[in-house]
Amino acid sequence: MTRLQRLFRIAWVFCRYRLDTFLPIAELPAPLKVFFLLAPWHLFPKPKLDRGDRLRLALEELGPVFVKFGQILSTRRDLLPDDMAESLKNLQDRVPPFPSDEARGIIETSLGAPVSELFAEFSPDPLASASVAQVHAATLLNGQKVVVKVLRPGIERVIRQDLALMYLMAGLLEKYWSEGKRLHPVEVVADYDATIHDELDLQREAANASQLRRNFENSSLIYIPFIDWDYTRKSVLVMERIHGIPIADTTALKAAGVDMKVLAEKGVEIFFTQVFRDSFFHADMHPGNIFVDTSNPSDPRYIAIDFGIVGTLAPDDQSYLARNLLAFFRRDYRQVAQLHIQSGWVPPDTPVNQFEAAIRTVCEPIFEKPLKDISFGHFLLRLFQTARRFNMEVQPQLVLLQKTLLNVEGLGRQLYPDLDLWSTAQPYLETWMRKRIGPSGLIKSLQSHLPSWLEQSPEMPQLVHDALLQLRQAGPTEPQNRATLELLREQQVRTERRWRRATLAVLLIAGGVLGTQPDGQQWLESVPAWSWALFAIAGGIMLRGSR
Per-residue model confidence (pLDDT) at position 111: 93
pLDDT at 446 over 90: no
Burial class (CB in 10 A: 0-12, 13-18, 19+), 486: exposed
129 is in an annotated binding site: yes
Q: What is the pLDDT of residues 255-301, one digit of tens each?
A: 999 999 999 889 888 988 888 888 898 888 877 889 999 999 999 99
Neighbours of 29 (CB within 10 A): 8
The answer to whether residue 356 is domain-embedded is yes
pLDDT digit string (tens) for 40-76?
A: 666 667 777 888 888 888 888 887 777 777 776 665 5
Q: What is the pLDDT of residue 55?
A: 85
Q: Which of 62-66, 306-310, 446-450 has the highest mean pLDDT?
A: 306-310
Residue 125 lies in a domain: yes
| Most confidently modeled range among 46-60, 173-187, 201-215, 497-511 | 201-215
Determine, yes or no, domain membership for 495: no
- 328 and 431: one domain? yes
Q: Please check the confidence at residue 517 and state whether its pLDDT lies above 60.
A: no
Whether residues 364 and 257 fall in one domain = yes
Burial class (CB in 10 A: 0-12, 13-18, 19+), 316: exposed
Q: Is 180 found in the same domain as 255?
A: no
**Alpha-carbon gap, residue 419 to 262, rounded angstroms:** 10
- Identify whether 544 is part of a domain: no
132 in a known ligand binding site: yes
Residue 7 pLDDT: 72
Predicted confidence at residue 23, as pLDDT, reads 63
Give the pLDDT score at 316: 77
| Strands of 301-304's sheet in order across | 222-223, 301-304, 290-293, 245-246
Q: How far apart are CA 304 and CA 293, in angstroms?
A: 10
What's the mean pLDDT in 306-332? 81
DSSP SS3 for 197: helix
Averaged pLDDT for residues 435-442: 57
Which of 412, 445, 478 delimits the end of a domain? 445
Q: What is the DSSP letter of 25?
A: G
pLDDT in tens, 132-186: 889 999 999 999 999 999 998 888 887 887 778 778 777 877 776 666 666 667 7
Give the residue from 92, 127, 160 where a domain finishes: 92
Instruction: Confirm whether residue 68 is marked as ligand binding.
Output: no
More confident residue, 314 or 233: 233
347-402 per-position pLDDT tens digit = 888 888 888 888 888 778 777 666 666 655 456 556 656 766 777 665 655 667 77
Condensed to tens digits (0 to 9), the pLDDT of residues 88-108 reads 777 765 667 889 999 999 999
**Contacts within 8 Å (CB) and 24+ apart, 203-211:** 203/232, 203/233, 203/234, 203/237, 204/308, 205/237, 205/306, 205/307, 205/308, 206/232, 206/237, 206/239, 206/307, 208/307, 208/308, 208/310, 209/239, 209/307, 211/280, 211/310
Q: Specify whether 391 is located in the same domain as 268.
A: yes
Q: What percent of the chain has pLDDT over 90?
A: 21
Same-domain status, 77 and 101: no
Over residues 202-214, the mean pLDDT reads 94
- Is residue 59 located within the same domain as residue 26? yes
Whether 284 is catalytic is: yes
265 or 533, which is more confident: 265
Range of the domain at 145: 94-241
User: Is-contact 150 99, C-beta < 8 A?
Assistant: no
Q: Among 284, 293, 316, 420, which one carries the catalytic annotation?
A: 284
Q: Is residue 347 part of a domain?
A: yes
DSSP state of 366: G
Q: Is 506 known to sit in a ligand binding site? A: no
Determine whether the annotation assigns residue 130 to a binding site.
yes
Q: State whether 211 and 258 are in the same domain.
A: no
| Rounded-to-integer distance, Cα 140 and Cα 69, Å | 35
Q: Average per-residue pLDDT in the chain?
A: 75
> Which residues, at least 6 apart from 72, have a Cβ–Cβ distance to it below 8 Å?
286, 403, 406, 407
Out of 405, 425, 445, a domain closes at 445
The verdict on 303 and 392 lying in the same domain is yes
Both 392 and 339 in a single domain? Answer: yes
237 and 274, same structural domain?
no
Sign of CA dihedral 47, 94, 251, 414: negative
The predicted pLDDT at position 455 comes to 55
Q: How far is it, in rounded angstroms, from Cα 460 to Cα 499?
A: 8
Q: How far apart are CA 333 and CA 419, in angstroms?
A: 23
pLDDT greater than 80 at residue 502: no
User: SS3 for 438?
Assistant: coil
What secondary structure letter does DSSP report for 276?
I
Task: Please give the pLDDT value at position 205.
Answer: 93
How much is the pTM?
A: 0.67
How much is the average pLDDT of 14-24?
Answer: 73
* Angle at which helices 352-363 and 376-389 cross, to 10°: 170
Flag whether pLDDT at 503 surpasses 70: no
Segment 411-421 shows an average pLDDT of 78
- For residue 131, say whether it is annotated as part of any ligand binding site: yes
pLDDT over 50 (residue 514)? no
The total number of structural domains in the chain stands at 3
d(CA 327, CA 324): 5
Q: Are 393 and 346 in contact (CB under 8 A)?
A: yes
455 belongs to a structural domain: no
Please give the average per-residue pLDDT across 481-492, as a whole number. 58
Residue 149 counted as an annotated binding residue: yes
Kindly state whether residues 258 and 393 are assigned to the same domain: yes
Position 242 pLDDT exceeds 50: yes
